[in-house]
Homo-oligomer: A and B are copies of this chain.
Amino acid sequence: MKKDVILTGDRPTGPLHLGHYVGSLIKRVELQDQYKTFIMIADVQALTDYFDRPEKVHESVFEVALDYLAVGIDPQKATIFIQSEIPQIFELTVYYMNLVTLSRALRNPTVKNEIREKKLDETVGFVAYPISQAADITAFKGTLVPVGEDQFPVVEQTNEIVRTFNRIYQTDVLIEPKVVVSHTKRLPGLDGKAKMSKSLGNAIFLCDDADTIKKKVMGMFTDPDHVRVEDPGKIEGNMVFTYLDAFDPDKAEVEKLKAHYQKGGLGDVVVKKRLIEVLESFLKPIRERRAEFAKDKEQVMQILKEGTEKARSVAAQTLSEVKKAMKLHYF
């Protein structure tokens, strides 16, 4: 019997990319065997930024579901669901908003940065997003949250809310989750400038075809000082080697290539061709499974529907306990 409960998810703002894979998908495929796993397609959270592009969010829900199935998330083991279909999350969000002061909400590092940049022009929804994530996690009584280091503050905020709620209402219905570090660093983008992200246009998507992968890798950032083949080249900050480290199963061969490159005499094109092969053999089965699922949209939607119904019944049970603790039950 699986004891621990995991909640993870993604904002559907386009198909998933290699950054998501290294960041969390690979971990989730592992974890679904050990833990009761809920995977949320966070369409409402996506609307925090995409409030004026609802069409894009709508389409991306299906894309993300395809990506999940393609990488090996198994609906028999993990519950995939759509956030907007779980009204209990929003009700919990509203209740939790009474337990968090504005000053506390503004201390969240992401919120703080954005508010500093945009002054007070950020929306109330954005300021409250760590509170809504506490609602996501606690709705399913998540005990473990797989996050990157940059997401620790979300779990901290959740735990503060849980402690405050349980103290005020003298209950133990809410559970403090623990962090499972799913990745220590994020995969940088093709340009090496920042983490891989759709909006920065520096991503390789799980659904990219062979030609696209080839073009993207050929345009990758390497070592700008490595002009002639015979020159010694740098490994650090060289995206081709960063990606080989992440995806090439033959670690020994990668080390040999690195040494050669640093010494001089190894051209970028040769290394890039290897990376293209490595990525293609990694992505090909994913792409094929994805295409297979894409043929039967009805089946995918049925998987989402069943997952959503299951998730809703779990969240409804939590909400009912929460409301009893708050004396919000009358009939």
Using CB atoms, name the residue of chain B closest to A325.
Answer: B54
Please provide the chain A residues from 129 to 148 with a CB less than 8 Å away from any CB of chain B in the complex.
131-132
Q: Taking the full assembly, how many copies of this chain does it contain?
A: 2
Contacts A90-B90, A327-B55 known; A125 to B97 CB distance under 8 Å?
yes
> Cβ of A244 < 8 Å from any Cβ of B?
no
Contacts A330-B304, A331-B301 known; A98 to B58 CB distance under 8 Å?
no
Partner-binding segment picked from A81-89, A201-209, A222-230, A234-242: A81-89
Q: A100 and B124: CB pair below 8 A?
A: yes
Kindly list chain B residues whose C-beta atoms are within 8 Å of the C-beta of A100: 123-125
Interface string of A311-328 (1 = CB under 8 A from B): 000000000000100111
> Cβ of A284 < 8 Å from any Cβ of B?
no
Please provide the chain A residues from 43 to 87 with a CB less than 8 Å away from any CB of chain B in the complex.
43-44, 47-48, 51-52, 54-55, 57-58, 61, 82, 84-85, 87
Interface of A: prevailing SS: helix
Please provide the chain A residues from 287 to 331 with a CB less than 8 Å away from any CB of chain B in the complex.
301, 304-305, 308, 323, 326-328, 330-331
In the complex the two chains form, what is the Cα distance from A90 to B132 in whole Å?
Answer: 12
Q: B125 and A124: CB pair below 8 A?
A: no
Kindly list chain B residues whose C-beta atoms are within 8 Å of the C-beta of A122: 101-102
> Cβ of A115 < 8 Å from any Cβ of B?
yes
Kindly list chain B residues whose C-beta atoms are within 8 Å of the C-beta of A90: 87, 90-91, 93-94
Q: A123 and B101: CB pair below 8 A?
A: yes
Kindly list chain B residues whose C-beta atoms are within 8 Å of the C-beta of A101: 120-124
Kindly list chain B residues whose C-beta atoms are within 8 Å of the C-beta of A61: 330
Q: A124 and B115: CB pair below 8 A?
A: no
Binding site for B on A (CB under 8 A): 43-44, 47-48, 51-52, 54-55, 57-58, 61, 82, 84-85, 87-88, 90-91, 93-95, 97-103, 105-106, 115, 119-128, 131-132, 168-169, 301, 304-305, 308, 323, 326-328, 330-331
Subset of 11 A-B contacts with CB under 8 Å? A51-B98, A58-B330, A84-B323, A94-B94, A94-B125, A94-B132, A98-B126, A99-B125, A102-B120, A105-B124, A305-B330
Q: List 13 extra interface pairs beyond A90-B91, A100-B123, CB under 8 A.
A: A54-B326, A54-B328, A61-B330, A84-B328, A87-B88, A94-B132, A102-B123, A103-B120, A106-B120, A124-B127, A301-B331, A304-B331, A305-B331
